[in-house]
């Protein structure tokens, strides 16, 4: 068998040189090279051996999968670990580990992550074995992780173990994300330059300012053009991602868990596995990245038996009533929800013991008899009687000092020394303690046994500043897994003060993310567009809020708010009992449109047709939509993000259609007609539809009426 391996999938190839006994080297990660023979692969490996430049180590420097000083590597190492007993014979060797390859095996497909390569390396003197898995699925997502096992007798502390992949020197620009509450996933763009660009998340959860996806690409890469390599860490705790570039020609991306002091101490025979690091290559810009990841996420859900079907319309009570819970108000809200076509009613924060505001109650997961003398039964019976499912908000990892739980078990509060600084008046429960874990799990199980709850909105409203984040993250994963095993149909939404826990680790055990606490449609356009780089729209919650956004005070017309929430798992977060009859009729029409198109929206391919790949970009008309698998039908939104810089905006172009097919373009008004400037509209718009070839729609486009800023219109394209 050749010891140069090629993996192929989804238009990408990975070639790994595992000849000799050194740590294997990635020779190529990018465009597919076709099926290479054994001799092609060997020739490729030999041809790519670099020169030895002056003033350098005397062997060709190749970036290995786990670069270490013992290989001559002077960049950030892939592994850092130490023996706690400094006198142990292996302690010195562990300071400068030297890994040798002992095994390389091809793995067959059969894992939802695809087939691939399993490598085993060891350093017998240091007493460690490293296992590396590289799996490539049929869409082109490459998943990588390392496992470090302590095979010596003394304890070993692992302080970092990261996945490192070479980047092409063609990748000269970076796109990643920052953010804050409620402005998650704000893009930032910059040139790759000499040194290390490093993003560290120490918030104890994925974070509002998470790097989320780090994309490195060719100059000016955009949605539909450029070669792009993108990386995401599938983990909901602390993490780091960095890009390192050196004039010597090495360029790489590293990613993994950011380990805290003392978090990973391995006894003899124990192992630490890194989170999976997911990477995607696209030769066709960021749309290629999102279509690949979205397809993979859907496949993984199907393999896990969690394909969810049409996503029900939600009504969430938060911005409608906040903490003001009472049966009368909420049954009236449920009636109004059922009347417009809502399918799932979610009771948010405020239902449990002592929870009249955000200063008390967390930890006491029993229904407050002062507000609900007959429990939640009358409300749930009302909701289900009206044909809706019932969902409930919980925040299982948290505790208020003003709670029965904190009074009884102050020692369960996660912290370093004593009680840490509060955040939203709350603290974290140390779920790595079996007693605390069992208490919370049992309380949730009791609720789920007593009530027909089909959905939990699982919130997480503070950073973990002190405490063992690694153990806490694993405990939360375990609790969600346990609940889903016990209650097979239970769906869970991942919320963390909005979108601070959006990652593929949490999505292995949840079914929706609350992308942000903002229902401001303008903010949402950006948040959803970038969340969609990784996630398909059916997993991203988006709600129709009231006319004035609670988080920003901005006012938007109904049509703009509706079109924004349509391209997601749609819901409502608005006190419908205070809306007019006319408004409720428009909401019912919008829900009918959502129900008509959700099959397409929740299975198709996301397409963006504008140049706004960075914050503050000049393109004021955003165009995004979803095309079905064979390109015969699509639903698109054209969104005026700001005032047009000139009198006329560019036309609406719809890429991705079959070039020589004829399409009918129909405009669909929801929430009333979009507001425009002036009263003369293009003839096709006045007519309501037009037929054109796919090539014409993709390259020439159609004129739109001048939408006022922060307004949108909706069009359907269908092959004739
Ligand atoms: C933060 C969430 O993101 C909101 O949607 C809401 O559930 C509140 N927490 C409740 O406290």
Q: In the block, which residue shows the tokens 């509002």? A: 208
- What integer pLDDT is reported at residue 695 of this predicted model? 98
Q: Is 130 helix (H, G, I), strand (E, B) or coil?
A: strand
Residues contacting residue 273 through CB under 8 Å, at least 6 positions apart: 145, 146, 147
- For the segment 525-558, what is each residue's pLDDT rounded down to a tens digit? 999 999 999 999 999 999 999 999 999 999 999 9
Atom 1 of ligand 1 has which residue's CA nearest to it?
Answer: 497
Specify the ligand 1 atom closest to the Cα of 514: 3
Catalytically annotated residue among 90, 137, 349, 459:
459
**Does the pLDDT at position 649 exceed 80?**
no
Percent of the chain scoring above 70 in pLDDT: 98
Catalytically annotated residue among 123, 368, 511, 517:
517
* Sheet strands side by side (includes 79-83): 79-83, 156-161, 265-266
393 in ligand 1 pocket by Cβ < 6 Å? yes
- For the segment 246-300, what is each residue's pLDDT rounded down to a tens digit? 877 899 999 999 999 999 999 999 999 999 999 999 999 999 999 999 999 999 9
Q: Which of 339, 340, 366 is nearest to 352 (CA)?
A: 366
Specify the ligand 1 atom closest to the Cα of 393: 7
Atom 5 of ligand 1 has which residue's CA nearest to it?
Answer: 517
- For the segment 215-229, what is each residue's pLDDT rounded down to a tens digit? 999 999 999 999 999
- What integer pLDDT is reported at residue 646 of this predicted model? 56
Q: Which of 181, 205, 314, 495 to mutate to test the pocket of ligand 1 (most atoms within 8 A of CB)?
A: 495
Residue 662, number of CB atoms within 10 A of its CB = 14
Q: Is 225 exposed, middle or buried (0-12, 13-18, 19+ CB in 10 A)?
A: middle
- For the segment 1-21, what is each residue's pLDDT rounded down to a tens digit? 569 999 999 999 999 999 999
- What integer pLDDT is reported at residue 249 of this predicted model? 81
What's the 495 CA to ligand 1 centre distance in angstroms? 8
Kindly state the average pLDDT of the residues 354-363: 98
Specify the ligand 1 atom closest to the Cα of 517: 3
Atom 6 of ligand 1 has which residue's CA nearest to it?
Answer: 318
**Does the pLDDT at position 645 exceed 70?**
no
- What integer pLDDT is reported at residue 363 of this predicted model? 98
CA dihedral 535, 538, 542, 544 (to 10 degrees): 160
Asked about 459 being catalytic, the answer comes back as yes
Q: Which of 199, 176, 200, 178 is nearest to 189 (CA)?
A: 176
- For the segment 431-443, what is each residue's pLDDT rounded down to a tens digit? 999 999 999 999 9
Q: Which of 400, 459, 460 to mutate to test the pocket of ligand 1 (most atoms within 8 A of CB)?
A: 459
HSE (CB half, 13 Å, CA atoms) of 661?
15
- For the segment 653-691, what is each residue's pLDDT rounded down to a tens digit? 999 999 999 999 999 999 999 999 888 899 999 999 999
Asked about 435 being catalytic, the answer comes back as no
- What integer pLDDT is reported at residue 611 of this predicted model? 80
Q: How far apart are alpha carbons 525 and 571 in whole angstroms?
A: 15
- What integer pLDDT is reported at residue 111 of this predicted model? 86
Asked whether 298 and 306 are in contact (CB, 8 A), the reply is no
Q: Is 400 helix (H, G, I), strand (E, B) or coil?
A: strand
Task: Give the tokens for residue 631.
Answer: 């390109």
- What integer pLDDT is reported at residue 618 of this predicted model? 57
- What integer pLDDT is reported at residue 372 of this predicted model? 98
What's the 599 CA to ligand 1 centre distance in angstroms? 28
**Does the pLDDT at position 616 exceed 60?**
no
pTM summary value = 0.97
Task: Give the tokens for residue 221.
Answer: 């890469």
Specify the ligand 1 atom closest to the Cα of 495: 3
Q: Which of 181, 316, 324, 348 to mutate to test the pocket of ligand 1 (most atoms within 8 A of CB)?
A: 348
Kindly state the average pLDDT of the residues 499-522: 98
Q: How far apart are alpha carbons 14 and 414 in whole angstroms?
A: 43
Q: Which of 299, 218, 279, 255 is nearest to 7 (CA)?
A: 279
User: From the centroid of its chain, how far is CA 18?
Assistant: 33
495 in ligand 1 pocket by Cβ < 6 Å? yes
Asked whether 378 and 327 are in contact (CB, 8 A), the reply is yes
461 in ligand 1 pocket by Cβ < 6 Å? yes
**Does the pLDDT at position 643 exceed 70?**
yes
Q: For the chain, what is the mean pLDDT?
A: 96
């Amino acid at each position: 068998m050749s010891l140069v391996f090629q993996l192929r999938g989804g238009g990408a190839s990975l070639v790994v040189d595992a000849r000799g006994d050194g740590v294997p080297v990635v020779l190529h990660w990018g465009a597919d090279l076709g099926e290479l023979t054994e001799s092609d692969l060997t020739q490729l490996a030999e041809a790519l051996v670099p020169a030895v430049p002056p003033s350098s180590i005397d062997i060709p420097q190749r970036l290995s999968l786990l670069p270490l000083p013992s290989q001559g590597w002077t960049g950030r190492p892939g592994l850092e670990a130490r023996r706690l007993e400094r006198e142990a014979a292996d302690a010195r060797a562990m300071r400068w580990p030297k890994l040798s390859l002992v095994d390389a095996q091809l793995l067959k497909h059969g894992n939802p992550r695809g087939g691939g390569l399993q490598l085993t390396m060891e350093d017998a003197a240091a007493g460690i074995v490293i296992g590396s898995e590289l799996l490539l699925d049929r869409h082109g997502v490459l998943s990588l992780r390392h496992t470090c096992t302590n095979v010596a007798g003394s304890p070993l502390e692992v302080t970092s173990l990261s996945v490192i992949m070479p980047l092409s020197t063609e990748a000269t620009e970076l796109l990643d994300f920052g953010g804050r509450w409620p402005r998650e996933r704000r893009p930032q763009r910059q040139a790759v330059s000499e040194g290390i660009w490093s993003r560290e998340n120490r918030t104890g959860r994925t974070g509002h300012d998470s790097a989320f996806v780090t994309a490195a690409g060719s100059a000016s890469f955009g949605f539909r053009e450029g070669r792009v390599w993108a990386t995401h860490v599938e983990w909901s705790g602390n993490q780091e991602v960095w890009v390192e570039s050196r004039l010597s020609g090495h360029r790489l991306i590293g990613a993994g868990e950011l380990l805290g002091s003392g978090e990973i101490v391995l006894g003899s025979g124990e192992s630490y596995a890194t989170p999976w690091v997911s990477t995607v290559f696209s030769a066709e810009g960021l749309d290629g990245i999102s279509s690949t990841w979205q397809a993979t996420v859907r496949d993984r859900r199907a393999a896990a038996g969690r394909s969810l079907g049409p996503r029900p319309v939600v009504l969430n009570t938060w911005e409608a009533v906040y903490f003001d819970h009472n049966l009368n108000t909420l049954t009236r809200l449920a009636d109004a929800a059922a009347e417009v076509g809502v399918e799932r009613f979610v009771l948010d924060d405020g239902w449990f013991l002592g929870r009249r505001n955000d200063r008390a109650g967390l930890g006491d997961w029993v229904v407050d008899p002062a507000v609900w003398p007959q429990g939640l039964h009358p409300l749930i019976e009302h909701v289900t009687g009206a044909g809706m499912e019932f969902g409930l908000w919980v925040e299982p990892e948290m505790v208020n000092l003003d709670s029965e739980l904190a009074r009884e078990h102050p020692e369960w509060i996660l912290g370093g020394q004593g009680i840490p600084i509060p955040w939203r008046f709350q603290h974290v429960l140390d779920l790595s303690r079996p007693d605390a874990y069992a208490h919370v799990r049992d309380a949730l199980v009791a609720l789920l046994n007593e009530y027909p709850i089909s959905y939990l909105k699982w919130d997480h409203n503070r950073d973990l500043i002190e405490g063992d984040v690694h153990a806490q993250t694993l405990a939360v994963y375990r609790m969600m897994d346990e609940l889903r095993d016990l209650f097979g149909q239970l769906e869970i939404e991942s919320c963390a003060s909005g979108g601070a826990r959006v990652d593929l680790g949490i999505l292995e055990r949840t079914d929706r993310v609350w992308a942000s606490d903002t229902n401001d449609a303008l903010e949402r356009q950006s948040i959803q567009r970038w969340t969609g780089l990784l996630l398909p729209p059916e997993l991203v919650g988006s709600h129709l809020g009231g006319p004035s956004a609670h988080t920003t005070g901005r006012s938007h017309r109904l049509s703009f708010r509706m079109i924004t929430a349509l391209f997601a798992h749609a819901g409502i977060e608005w006190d419908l009992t205070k809306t007019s009859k006319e408004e409720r009729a428009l909401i019912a029409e919008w829900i009918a449109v959502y129900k008509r198109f959700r099959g397409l929206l929740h299975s198709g391919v996301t397409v963006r047709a504008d140049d706004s790949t960075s914050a503050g970009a000049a393109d004021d008309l955003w165009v995004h939509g979803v095309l079905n698998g064979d390109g015969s039908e699509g639903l698109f939104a054209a969104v005026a993000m700001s005032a047009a810089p000139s009198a006329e905006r560019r036309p609406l172009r719809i890429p991705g259609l079959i070039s020589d097919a004829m399409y009918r373009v129909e405009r669909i008004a929801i929430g009333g007609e979009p507001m425009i400037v002036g009263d003369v509209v293009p003839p096709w718009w006045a007519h309501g539809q037009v037929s054109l070839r796919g090539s014409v729609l993709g390259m020439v486009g159609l004129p739109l009426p001048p939408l006022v800023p922060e307004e949108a219109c909706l069009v359907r394209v269908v092959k004739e």
